[in-house]
Structure 1
Amino acid sequence: MEATNFKNTAALTHLSALSQYLIPFANYIFPIVIWSTYKEKSEFVSAQSKQVLNFQLSLLLYSIILLGISIPILIYHFFQNIPFSTIINDNEIIIDHFNFNGHIGALSVAILALIILGILKVSEFFLIIFGAIKASNGENYRYPISIPFLK
């Protein structure tokens, strides 16, 4: 197989991670399929496939941690602050006296975790594009903040 085809396949491997926006878990499935198909044919495609998988698995881990921090805090403080004077009228819920006093620190941590998660997801999109460009030029690309699960 020609070296240009390997570069294109490696670039496609990076771009396949974007399929997560259309098909759930496709950002893991497609790189695994490409890696298993090309691991004996091209060291370059194999290495780039591993990089994509490592990056996607790292982002999954970071997302689980950040959501594990923010969601329980937000749920706890929301339900703790629902007063008995909650009124439900004609498909409208009115909650009086929602109190943030004494909880601003924990709520700030939860909101900060969600902001970091948002930054990670936006950065992921651009890093995938950048990795595809590097791979199409024949350069080995290593994602930042990626944990090397597969070596």
Structure 2
Amino acid sequence: MTSANERTIASVTHLSSFAQYIFPLGNFIAPIIIWSAKKNDSEFVDFNGKQILNFQLSIFTYSLILVAISLPLLIYGFVDLLGTNMSFSNFDIDFDGFQNQKITALIGIAIVSFVFLIFLKIFEFILIINAAVKASNGENYKYPLTIPFFK
């Protein structure tokens, strides 16, 4: 059975990852500070600290992958688009059929990647709230789709 203090600290550890909206890397720094200060005092706090850090590192990894996919494609697509014959006076764009499809596909993949990134951040927000509630109830919570960096 976990004490009320342990549940509160574990819950605050999860919620501290929202510090990312206040200062850069706050989603790592704030949980690390709380976890490292209290991990030896409680197995429950230690477990929850590892979970939030694993989750934040996983979200960061997934975000980097999505940005690495979308950003170069978007840049290449727009550079390729600007290199074609365009008439801005009457908004007629003269493309080769294949060239038009290639640019559309590249920009489409980039947009889909950005949409996935937005959904990933929404997913992150919801799961953090859920984990904080579970921790405040004294339950161990494992985030889905998390790479176990800390065991």
TM-score, structure 1 length as denominator?
Answer: 0.87
Partner of 1:97: 93
> Match of 2:143, as an amino acid?
Y
Structure 1's unaligned 5+ residue stretches are 88-93
What is the CA–CA distance in structure 2 between the aligned matches of 1:98 and 1:15, rounded to whole Å?
52
Partner of 1:67: 67
Secondary structure of the corresponding residue to residue 97 of structure 1: strand
**Alignment root-mean-square deviation, CA:** 2.1
Among all aligned residue pairs of Structure 1 and Structure 2, give the percentage whose two residues are the same amino acid: 47
Q: 1:85 Cα deviation (Å)?
A: 6.1
What is the CA–CA distance in structure 1 between the aligned matches of 2:62 and 2:50, rounded to whole Å?
18
Alignment length (residue pairs): 144
Secondary structure of the corresponding residue to residue 149 of structure 2: coil
Partner of 2:114: 114
Residues 81, 98 of structure 1: 8 Å contact kept:
no
Higher helix share: 2
Residues 85, 93 of structure 2: 8 Å contact kept:
no
Q: 1:86 Cα deviation (Å)?
A: 7.8
Judged with a 3 Å threshold, the aligned counterparts in structure 2 of structure 1 residues 15 and 101 are, in CA distance, closer, same or farther, namely same
Matches within 5 A, 1:18-57: 18-57=18-57
Partner of 1:134: 134
Judged with a 3 Å threshold, the aligned counterparts in structure 2 of structure 1 residues 95 and 9 are, in CA distance, closer, same or farther, namely farther
Structure 2's unaligned 5+ residue stretches are none
Q: 1:97 Cα deviation (Å)?
A: 2.6
Q: 1:111 Cα deviation (Å)?
A: 1.6
Partner of 2:6: 6
